[in-house]
Amino acid sequence: MEKPVNPFDYYTKINLNLWTDDQNFSALVEHIQEQSPKVGNPVIRKKHLTVVLANLYYTWLDDPEKYLGYYRFFHKYKARSQYNILKISTLLIKIVDDLIELNYLDHKKGFYDRNNQSRTARMQANDELIKLFKYYKLQPHSVELLSSTPSIILRDIKDDGKEEIDFEYTEELETLRTSLANYNNLLRKTHIAIPHYPKEGVTRTKGLKVPYNTHNKFVRRIFNNGTFDDGGRFYGGFWQNIPKEWRLRIRINGQPIVEHDYSGLHINLLYAKENKQHIGDPYSLNHSLYSDEELRPYLKQLLLIMLNCRNEKQVLNAVRNAIRWDTHLCLYNNYNHQEFIELLSNKHKPIGKYLYSGYGITLQKIDSSIAHQIIDTFTKKNIAILCIHDSFICDSHYGEELTKAMERAYESIASSKAISLSYKGTDPYLLRNDKDTYIDMMLKNRDRDYEYLLEQHQEKVWEEYYV
């Protein structure tokens, strides 16, 4: 028997830049506004109600069991912030309270956990609101991010967690913003989907599901610690969240894909920084009890944690937490973590000064710069490429071109050639012994929904959108 969904684990954060001008959606908003208390400016109330309902609808589309997280702290709603394009204020909290009073929401109060970390309030459209979604015939394409949604995010650590902070655009940042706008426009015009992906999603950690939301293609770069020297990785595309075994089944404009990634990128970057070269697999220990293949996922995670933490206690807490949340790591729960920490430390003595240094966030800036160069190269050629940090996906016709671009980018940013790439082919199901039978089955049992949406996408005239 499956455990009930924990709203504080399975949720998405409210997006204040989610909007709709759809007439049917506007009719729904007016219907609910008529039932609400007639307090304040009706135009401003309608704007706030639209944002809340757009988020609730979008979350419901993603997965009816998923919750929407939002803040009840007044200081979180900064009307003058560059991230708050619609000037959403604390009125949003009142709007949510009205929806609760009208019996349109399943609502959970926020709290502070055992580590004194804030777990924000959660809400979810209930059956009554879902009936209205269906009655007014809302459509997925009717809800989109505003065209001026920021694609460059700067965050810093505050008392109650990470917070987005405003910044001034330099010439370099303006260039970056233009590059991201071009990339997001290309993604928007590109059909990216997975035939036969279960509509109910794929179950992963703790019974939580990875839904199938192909509308989520907007990519942004997130920098950390209040500086553009830390972080900067690309986030946002739905392909970043789906299980690895499904990624190779992605189709880009109907074409099969290849996925290439850098082998041991962060470790090789550190060796290059010390003018050294690491030979072999950085995660191989030749352990007497466990094979390298068995240990690799665990050691990769452990070594990255050692680069991000400041001491062994933090490492032990972080690796236990990673194992708790990652299905692929749960089999390592009873391992002697201290033993493997020592083994990895001895193996990588040439870069020992970076262990327990918190240098991982700086490495993210380097790998994001590499990713930016690769993405920009392909965007200028009007070829869509998908990024999962140090891994890249493209139409299989451009596989060789991707290899060369990755090699050039690494050499350019790291000032080194000492890197190897790993390659994953197209749909792994096509590599089966019974591939002919499988192909025949696929042809006979075509994913009609996928093919219909592909045709609709190809017929649409796309205009530039993000600025």
| pLDDT attached to residue 7 | 80
Q: In terms of domains, do 399 and 385 share one?
A: yes
Which pairing describes strands 251-252 and 231-235: parallel, antiparallel, or unpaired? unpaired
How far apart CA 224 and CA 233 sit, in angstroms, is 10
DSSP 4: P
What is each CA distance from 234 to 231, 240, 283, in whole angstroms? Answer: 9, 10, 25
Helix crossing, 42-62 with 91-101: angle to 10°? Answer: 70
* Separation between Cα atoms, residue 265 and residue 279, nearest integer Å: 13
Question: What span, in angstroms and rounded, lies between the C-alpha atoms of 413 and 369?
Answer: 7
Q: What's the CA gap between 93 and 70, in Å, rounded?
A: 9
Q: How much is the average pLDDT of 456-461?
A: 90
**Residue from 318, 324, 284 nearest 300 by CA:** 284
Q: What pLDDT does residue 1 have?
A: 37
Same domain? 36 vs 128 = yes
- Is 342 contained in some domain? no
Last residue of a domain, one of 109, 128, 146: 146
Is 324 contained in some domain?
Answer: no
Confidence class of residue 157 from pLDDT cuts 50, 70 and 90?
A: confident
Whether residue 325 is contained in a domain is answered as no
**Claim to verify: residue 121 and residue 194 sit in the same structural domain:** no
Using CA atoms, how far apart are residues 219 and 210, in angstroms rounded to an integer? Answer: 18
Q: Are residues 175 and 245 in the same domain?
A: yes
Q: How confident is the model at residue 4 (pLDDT cuts 50, 70, 90)?
A: low
For residue range 32-76, what is the model confidence (pLDDT) as tens digits?
A: 999 988 778 999 999 999 999 999 999 999 889 899 999 998 888
Cα dihedral 390→394→399→404 (10° resolution): -50
Token pair for 363? 């490495």
The number of beta carbons lying within 10 Å of the beta carbon of residue 116 is 8
Q: How far is residue 362 from each of residues 223, 229, 270, 365, 435, measured CA to CA in Å? A: 10, 7, 11, 5, 44
Question: Does 309 fall in a domain?
Answer: no
Name the domain count of the chain. Answer: 2
Is 164 contained in some domain?
A: yes
The answer to whether residues 120 and 17 belong to one domain is yes
Q: Which pLDDT belongs to residue 434?
A: 67
Q: Which residue has the tokens 């998908």?
A: 386
Residue 451: name the closest of 256, 258, 247, 253 by CA.
253
Residue 464 has pLDDT above 50, yes or no: yes
Instruction: Decide if pLDDT at 447 tops 70.
Output: yes
Domain span including residue 43: 1-146
Residue 139: inside a domain: yes
Q: Which two tokens stand for residue 189?
A: 């015009």
CATH number of the domain that residue 51 is part of: 1.10.10
CB neighbour class for 390 (10 Å; exposed up to 12, middle 13-18, buried from 19): buried
- Residue entry with tokens 């706030």: 48
- Does one domain contain both 110 and 227? no
Query: Is residue 251 predicted with pLDDT exceeding 50?
Result: yes
110: its two tokens: 């926020």
* 133, 201: one domain: no
* Single residue among 95, 116, 146 that ends a domain in this structure: 146
Angle ∠(295,301,302) on CA atoms, nearest 5: 80
Residue 326 lies in a domain: no
Residue 52 and residue 195 in one domain? no
Q: Which residue has the higher pLDDT, 432 or 346?
A: 346
Together in a domain, 235 and 373: yes
Same domain assignment for residues 60 and 95: yes
Domain final position from 130, 146, 162: 146
**Cβ density class 147-160: b for 16+ within 10 Å, e for less:** eebbbbbbbeeeee
Question: What confidence tens digit (pLDDT) does each residue in 297-350 have?
Answer: 899 999 999 999 999 999 999 998 888 777 667 778 888 999 999 999 999 999
Are 278 and 131 in a shared domain?
no
Helix (H) or strand (E) holding 300: helix 292-308
120-130 burial, b if ≥16 CB within 10 A, otherwise e?
Answer: bbbbbbbeebb
The string of pLDDT tens digits covering residues 6-35 is 888 889 999 999 999 999 999 999 999 999
Looking at residue 252, its amino acid is I
Q: How far apart are CA 152 and CA 103, in angstroms?
A: 37
For residue 290, the 8-state DSSP code is S
Backbone angles phi, psi at 205, to 5 degrees: -65, 135
* 129 and 192 share one domain: no
Distances in Å between the alpha carbon of 419 and those of 61, 267, 268, 354, 424? 42, 10, 7, 19, 17
**Mean pLDDT across the stretch 376-398?**
96
Rounded to 5 degrees, φ, ψ at 354 are -90, -15
295 within some domain: no
Whether 465 has a pLDDT exceeding 50, the answer reads yes
